[in-house]
Amino acid sequence: MRRPAQACYPHLMALSVLGLLLIFVSVVCFALVLVHAFQRSLGTGFIVLCLPIYNVYYGFSQFEHRRKGLVLAGWLGAGVLGIALRWVAVSVAAQA
């Protein structure tokens, strides 16, 4: 027997909101990397902004910050986890 769709909504809403918060953390951390790249040079900043592969390379090799590990973990880790949580919430809601 299937539960009504309304019974699933609070859990899915919490999962979706948590995913959005993690994506927001990822955007803030990427903004730190992007500001650093633009401070280095205008060309570097545009390359980091436009090329997804280069922004990961820049983050690991040239980005300098006293909390580099936390910034990169927040950017890449929270971004991947946030996207995964949003994807799960949307796919489960679509099946309900």
Query: For residue 96, is pLDDT > 70?
Result: no
Query: For residue 2, is pLDDT > 90?
Result: no
pLDDT value of residue 12: 82
Give the tens place of pLDDT for each residue, 31-44.
Answer: 999 999 999 999 99
Report the C-alpha gap between 83 and 3 in whole angstroms.
26
Query: For residue 6, is pLDDT > 80?
Result: no
What is the Cα 34 distance to its own chain's centre?
A: 14
Give the tens place of pLDDT for each residue, 39-75.
Answer: 999 999 999 999 999 999 999 999 999 999 999 999 9
Report the C-alpha gap between 56 and 83 in whole angstroms.
17
